[in-house]
Amino acid sequence: MITIKTKTDIEKMAEAGKIVAAALEKAAEVVRPGISTAELDAAVEKVITSHGATPSFKGYHGFPACCCISPNEVVVHGIPSRRNILREGDIVSVDVGACYKGYHGDAARTFAVGNVSDKARKLMDVTRECFFRGAAMAVAGNRIGDIGHAVQTLAEENGFGVVRDLVGHGVGRALHEAPDVPNFGNPGHGVRLVRNMVIAIEPMITAGGYAVNFDRRDGWTCRTNDKSLSAHYENTVVVTDNGPVYLTLEA
- Nearest approach, Cβ of 149 to Mg ion (angstroms)? 20
- Nearest approach, Cβ of 224 to Mg ion (angstroms)? 19
- In the bound state with Mg ion, the residue whose beta carbon lies nearer, of 116 and 171, is 171
Which residues lie closer than 8 Å to 73 by C-beta, 6 or more apart? 223, 224, 227, 228, 229, 230
- In the bound state with Mg ion, the residue whose beta carbon lies nearer, of 135 and 200, is 200
Which residues lie closer than 8 Å to 216 by C-beta, 6 or more apart? none
Could you please report the per-residue DSSP string of 124-178? HHHHHHHHHHHHTT-BTT-BHHHHHHHHHHHHHHTT-EE--S--EEE-SSSSSEE
Report whether the peptide linkage leading into residue 244 is cis, meaning its omega lies within 30 degrees of zero.
no
- In the bound state with Mg ion, the residue whose beta carbon lies nearer, of 9 and 106, is 106
- Nearest approach, Cβ of 159 to Mg ion (angstroms)? 25
- In the bound state with Mg ion, the residue whose beta carbon lies nearer, of 176 and 195, is 176
CA-CA distance, 69 to 42, in Å (whole number)?
11
Q: Which residues bind Mg ion (CB under 5 A)?
A: 106, 200
- Nearest approach, Cβ of 203 to Mg ion (angstroms)? 11
